[in-house]
């Protein structure tokens, strides 16, 4: 994964969440739980780091907004 962009965390209420999980299904399930609580820019695919176990997924949250706003 690339570096976190300052614009994604430049204000209170913005967050970047990196999920590490054993498989895609688990990573997407966690992302869905987050998206049910906060406005979330979701990812559509996971990444695998060579030599590391599992998958990773990054999503962006705005806890200032209600879901679906």
Checking 51-54 for CB contacts under 8 A at 24+ apart, the result is 53/22, 54/20, 54/21, 54/22, 54/23
Query: Structural domain of residue 26, as residue ranges?
Result: 11-62
Tens-digit pLDDT profile for residues 19-33: 999 999 999 999 999
**Domain membership flag for residue 49:** yes
The reported pTM is 0.79
Tokens 């299904």, located at residue? 25
**Domain membership flag for residue 25:** yes
**Domain membership flag for residue 37:** yes
Q: Which string of b and e fits 26-58 if b means at least 16 CB within 10 Å?
A: bbbeebeebbeebbbeebeebeeeeeeeebbbb
Tens-digit pLDDT profile for residues 22-66: 999 999 999 999 999 888 888 999 999 899 999 999 998 888 876
pLDDT at 11: 82
Find the Cα–Cα–Cα–Cα dihedral 4, 36, 67, 35, rounded to 10°: 20
**Domain membership flag for residue 3:** no
């Amino acid at each position: 994964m690339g570096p976190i962009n300052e614009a994604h965390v430049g204000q209170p209420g913005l967050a970047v969440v990196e999920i590490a999980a054993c498989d895609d299904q688990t990573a997407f399930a966690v992302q869905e739980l987050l998206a049910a609580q906060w406005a979330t820019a979701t990812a559509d695919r996971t990444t695998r780091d060579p030599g590391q176990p599992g998958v990773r997924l990054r999503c962006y949250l705005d806890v200032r907004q209600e879901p679906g706003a």
